[in-house]
Amino acid sequence: MEYYEFIIIVPDASRDALMYKLKEMGSPGLYEDGAVLRAYFENMNNIDLLCGELNAFRDVLRSSGLDPSFTFTHSVLPAQDWNEAWKKSIAPINAGNAITIIPPWETAEAGRIIIMIDSGMAFGTGHHETTKTCLAHIEKISKGHAGKSLLDIGTGTGILAIGASKMGFTHIVAVDTDPLSVDAARKNAGLNGSENIEVKEGSISEAQGTFDVIIANLISGTLIEIAPEVASHLNPDGIVVLSGMLAGEEDMVADAYMKAGLDLKEKYLDGNWVTLVVSPALNF
Ligand code: SAH
């Protein structure tokens, strides 16, 4: 199969948001090459639609206060070159204190918590700030929650669920509305020998029961939409980690969770991305 290669020159401030958008548009391969971003799409995609969607994203950037002045060109690339470029794009990545994410053909140094990810078409290679921040949180929380349960909403490649399994969570449910992600997450869970992960197609309503930790790396609109259900699936002493919102959107998200009975405990900023930790308000 041939691929379109987009070569994009993007201002630093809007790079993360654009990378997220390219993934959302279905790019199975993305990599940063100095100041240039390369994104690949299967050539069965309609090139005019892809270009139109990219141009329309300028309005989104503008309304988030980000610089919309990226430029791009595209060409058709033979599959082999694309594979090489893609493999380069997923070299080992470290997250948290001890986590290393590797593709199946790499090895990691001894003593690391290894998450093996074959991303295929799904989101969650570990390159994205929000994924790394979520993994670092799971690592931190796992110290007091080993043996407990975790729900991963929007699992993508399964990266966070697998991380949780490697760090001692025993009962893990992962959901994703995208069937390609569900396949990828099941495959990756198998690659890692993480047999305690149950992957389901759909959103939070697919999850049964309550959990000690709920983690969701999603866009702000979805985080807001699912707030009441997140609260109803959380144990009374549970913790929720919310990521994927852009700076400036966090108050709206925190507000929705407060209305659902969860108080804001921690807030982190990584470039343009925000991660919130919320947990049940104390009842006096
Ligand atoms: N958890 C991974 C992937 C996050 S990308 C990581 O941290 O890297 C977000 C994922 O959420 C995508 O795979 C998308 O298909 C899925 N998604 C989007 N809306 C959803 C919803 N309402 N419920 C469940 N999954 C959703």
pLDDT band at 170 (very low <50, low <70, confident <90, very high): very high
Q: What is the DSSP letter of 204?
A: G
Q: What is the mean pLDDT of the chain?
A: 90
Does 203 sit in the ligand 1 pocket, CB within 6 Å?
yes
Residue 59 identity: D
Q: Do residues 97 and 81 both lie within one domain?
A: no
Q: How far is Cα 218 from Cα 273, in angstroms, rounded to an integer?
A: 11
Contact partners, residue 39, CB within 8 Å, separation at least 6: 5, 6, 8, 22, 27, 29, 30
% pLDDT > 70, the chain? 93
Of 85, 114, 139, the last residue of a domain is 85
Q: What is the DSSP letter of 205?
A: G
Q: How far is Cα 132 from Cα 124, in angstroms, rounded to an integer?
A: 10
Q: How far from the centroid of its chain's Cα atoms is residue 138's Cα?
A: 13
> Residue 47 is encoded by which pair of tokens?
């090139």
Q: Do residues 61 and 154 both lie within one domain?
A: no
Q: Counting atoms of ligand 1 from 1, which one is nearest the CA of 178?
A: 15
What pLDDT score was predicted for residue 103? 82
Q: How far is Cα 113 from Cα 165, in angstroms, rounded to an integer?
A: 11
Q: Flag the least confident range among 26-40, 83-97, 150-164, 269-283.
A: 83-97
Q: What are the distances in angstroms from CA 123 to CA 22, 35, 155, 168, 219?
A: 10, 22, 8, 24, 13
Which residue is associated with the tokens 């470039």?
Answer: 271
Q: Does 284 have pLDDT greater than 60?
A: no
Does 178 sit in the ligand 1 pocket, CB within 6 Å?
yes
Residue with CA at minimum distance from ligand 1 atom 11? 154
Q: Do residues 103 and 193 both lie within one domain?
A: yes
Q: Do residues 21 and 111 both lie within one domain?
A: no
Ligand 1 mutation pick, 24, 115, 137, 218, max ligand atoms within 8 A of CB: 218
pLDDT band at 104 (very low <50, low <70, confident <90, very high): confident
* Segment 112-116 mean pLDDT: 94
Centre of ligand 1 to C-alpha 284, Å, is 36
Ligand 1 mutation pick, 22, 155, 180, 219, max ligand atoms within 8 A of CB: 155
Does 177 sit in the ligand 1 pocket, CB within 6 Å?
yes
Q: Do residues 101 and 63 both lie within one domain?
A: no
> 12-69 pLDDT, tens per residue?
889 889 998 998 888 877 887 767 888 888 877 788 999 999 999 999 999 999 999 9
* Segment 66-74 mean pLDDT: 93
Q: Do residues 65 and 147 both lie within one domain?
A: no
pLDDT band at 101 (very low <50, low <70, confident <90, very high): very high
Of 26, 60, 85, the last residue of a domain is 85
Q: What are the distances in angstroms from CA 283 to CA 217, 237, 253?
A: 28, 12, 22
Give the strand pairing for 93-95 and 71-77. unpaired
Domain coverage including residue 8: 3-85
What pLDDT score was predicted for residue 89? 64
What pLDDT score was predicted for residue 229? 98
Q: Flag the least confident range among 90-94, 115-119, 152-156, 192-196.
A: 90-94
Of 85, 114, 130, the last residue of a domain is 85
Domain count, the chain: 2
Q: Do residues 259 and 161 both lie within one domain?
A: yes
Does 156 sit in the ligand 1 pocket, CB within 6 Å?
yes
Q: How far is Cα 17 from Cα 252, in angstroms, rounded to an integer?
A: 19
Q: Counting atoms of ligand 1 from 1, which one is nearest the CA of 218?
A: 9
